[in-house]
Amino acid sequence: MSTVLELVERSDGSIVNASDGDPAVRRVQGYRRYWISADLGQANDFTAVTVTLDEQLPVLNDGVVELGPRELTVVFADRFRGVSYVAVCDYLVRLLNAHPFRGKAQLVIDGTSIGRVCSDVLTEQSVPHVAIQMTGGVDWSRKGRYVNAAKVTIIENTAVLFASGDLKMAHDLPLRSELEADLASFTVQTTAAGNMVIGQDRNTGGHGDLGISLCLGAFAAQYLKPQLTAQGKLTGWY
């Protein structure tokens, strides 16, 4: 049986077990980090933002300190419209600097359409982020801050994480029912050529934006996690 130890969390999100000065106590480093992901809409469309907690903590297992299982939990969701892309960028920067995300979060945005404009604004302000452009096919690649990833792969990754229990929603998650409706609205069809195509069933009541936001964060958590610790100086917002 595993027991969570007394833990010490550092400002960068790394977490170690307390040793109380005893050199015989093995120190194991885990982490608690966040993926802030956004599906960006035009002025009359919704912009949706979700935050996924990504943590793996030291535990005591049969008297031995070791890393416990990795857990992904959706802990925040928001959706709004009728604001400029500058206001959207300002919102994302304020969220990055809010407790408990400051210094422990990676920003991921939809890099298509208005996302390219927002990515340029964030880059001009030295705000570290990744812009994911959804494509056809099944592969993904990265060049600089841009990632080209197949929409099928992005959404299927989220489905697999939920099915395996590796990704969960917090019980008090805002907009949880709306997010669940979004995820339920996605459909997968196979073309005559054998290619899979992602569609959306509008009869389920989902808009899709919250679901896409979460899928972007889940994809980044699985495929882009080596980039998580990147940090930069935020300028021009205060």
Q: How many C-beta atoms lie closer than 10 Å to residue 44's C-beta?
A: 7
Q: What is the mean pLDDT of residues 26-45?
A: 90
88 falls within a domain: yes
149 is in which domain, residue-wise? 34-52+73-227
Closest CA to 149 of 85, 215, 199: 215
- Measured at the alpha carbon of residue 131, what is the angle toward residues 126 and 132, in degrees to the nearest 5? 170
Domain tally, the chain: 1
pLDDT of residue 128: 95
86 falls within a domain: yes
CATH code assigned at 212:
3.30.420.240
Does the global pTM surpass 0.75?
yes
Structure tokens at 76: 């925040």
Q: What is the mean pLDDT of residues 103-117?
A: 92
pLDDT of residue 140: 94
Q: What is the mean pLDDT of residues 145-173?
A: 95
For residue 97, what is the enclosing H or E element? Answer: helix 85-97
E-state strands within 45-153: 47-56, 58-61, 64-67, 71-80, 105-110, 130-135, 140-143, 146-150
184 falls within a domain: yes
58 falls within a domain: no
13 falls within a domain: no
127 falls within a domain: yes
